[in-house]
Amino acid sequence: MYFDYLNVLVFAGVGLVFTFANLILASIIRPKRKSDVGLETYECGEETIGDAWIKFDIRYYTVALVYVIFAVEIAFLFPWALVLKEVIAGTGAAAGSGIGAFIIVEGFLFIAILLLGLAYVWAKGDLDWVLHWDAPEYQPPTKHPRVTLPSIAELEAEDEADAEADGEDGPDGDEEAA
């Protein structure tokens, strides 16, 4: 029995060997120089900002859940496809048992019930990636008003004003303008 799957085993074995052999080989022959740049996530790309451990949105979960349900459906429909072929061709055990029509109805009923679930998710807006239903109107934040870049003349005037005032507010103002 298990011999039927020897090719699968060999395939898996070759896959594993290929992966790890390359990794081990690389670790043997590559030069080992430690530097701060080398330890970064992307050695020669964008600088990373923050942590990768961010909280995912619940919508990912919803979509994954729907995916699971329909993966199970596919698993059930696979044998159905086999029987269906026989029923339509009128051969085999399925046709012989005299319940051919029933089998077709069963399968469609199964799909229909699950499609109702899809309709539910759809109608409730869980498939919409952009949340648009009762989302409040976008309000520009009041705390940090939009920065309009000042002209050179204004900047110069500001610098003069800063020089007159005490130095406390100076750096802040400069940063914002920049």
Partner 1 sequence: MNAYIEQMGLIAPELVLTALSLFVLTWDLLKKGRNSDHIGYATLVGLAVTGWLLLQQWGMLGDKGTQTAFGMVTIDRFGTFFKLFTVGSMAVVTLFVMLDKNERKHGIGEYYFLLIGASIGAFFMVSTNNLLLLMLGLELLSLASYSLAGFHKGSKRSAEAALKYIVFGGLSAGVMLYGISLLYGLTGTLDLGLMGHAPEGSGAVSLATQFDASPIPVAIAVVLVLAGFAYKVSVVPFHFWTPDVYEGAPTPVTTFLAVGSKAAGFAALLRFVGALFLTDGVDASIVAYGDRIGFLLAILAAITMTLGNLSALRQGSLKRMLAYSSIAHAGYVLMGAASMTSEGFAAAMFYLAAYYCMNLGAFGFLIYFEGVTGKDDIDSLKGMGWRHPVVAWSMVVFLVALTGLPPTVGFYGKLILFYAAIDAGLAWLVIIAAINSVISLFYYFRVAKSMFLTEPVPQVPMRQHGLAGILCVLAVVTVLAGLGAFKDPLRGWADEGPASLEIYATDAGSR
Partner 2 sequence: MAETLFYLLSIGAIACGAGVIRARMPLFSVLCLLGAFFCLSGIYLLAGFQFLAVTQLLVYAGAIMVLFLFVIMLLNLGDENEIARQSGIALSGKQLAVAGTSAGVFALIGVLTAGYGIAPVETASTRASGIDELQTLAVELFSRYMLPFEAASLLLLLTMIGVIAIAKRQRAGEPTHTGAGFPWTKEPLDEESTL
- Site residues, partner 1 (CB under 8 A): 98-99, 101-102, 113, 116, 119-120, 123-124
User: Helices marked H in 30-149 — which ranges?
Assistant: 58-89, 92-96, 100-123
Cα–Cα distance measured from residue 122 to residue 24, given in angstroms and rounded to the nearest whole number: 48
Q: Are 155 and 128 in contact, with CB atoms under 8 Å apart?
A: no
Q: Tell me the site size for partner 2, rule CB under 8 A.
A: 54
Residue 42 binds to partner 2 (criterion: CB under 8 A): no
Nearer to partner 1, 101 or 147 (CB): 101
Residue 18 binds which of partner 1, partner 2, none (CB < 5-8 A, kind-dependent)? none
Cα–Cα distance measured from residue 46 to residue 41, given in angstroms and rounded to the nearest whole number: 9
Nearer to partner 2, 59 or 155 (CB): 59
In the chain, at which residue ranges do the beta strands (DSSP E only) sit?
none
Q: Is 40 helix (H, G, I), strand (E, B) or coil?
A: coil
- The contact set with partner 2 (CB under 8 A) reads 1-2, 5, 8, 53-56, 58-62, 64-69, 71-76, 78-80, 82-83, 92-94, 97, 99, 102-103, 106-107, 109-110, 113-114, 116-117, 120-121, 124, 126, 131, 133-136
